[in-house]
Amino acid sequence: MFSRAIERNIKSFFQLHHHPYSYHEAHKMALVYSTRAIVMIKYFFVHFIWRMVDRVSS
């Protein structure tokens, strides 16, 4: 859902500027960066919960 919104924004932006080649490049970059962001967010979220649980249990 989140990456869909990003994709739509990029699509509309590049339709506005008429660069089909750079649209393709930006789309690849957006996919890479959004997956990285999601992985990082998941990692930090899990790490944060783990520390909270550790603090509560001790």
pLDDT digits (tens, 9 = 90+) for 1-58: 567 777 777 677 666 555 556 667 777 888 888 889 899 999 999 999 999 999 998 7
Is residue 54 in a domain?
yes
Is residue 3 in a domain?
no
H helices of the chain, where?
Answer: 2-17, 20-57
Q: Which two tokens stand for residue 25?
A: 């490049």
Is residue 18 in a domain?
no
Is residue 8 in a domain?
no
**pLDDT in the model for residue 48:** 92
Q: Which two tokens stand for residue 27?
A: 């789309």
**pLDDT in the model for residue 27:** 79
Is residue 53 in a domain?
yes
**pLDDT in the model for residue 19:** 56
Structural domain count of the chain: 1
Range of 36's domain?
A: 32-58
Backbone φ/ψ region at 18: left (φ over 0), alpha (ψ -120 to 50), beta: left
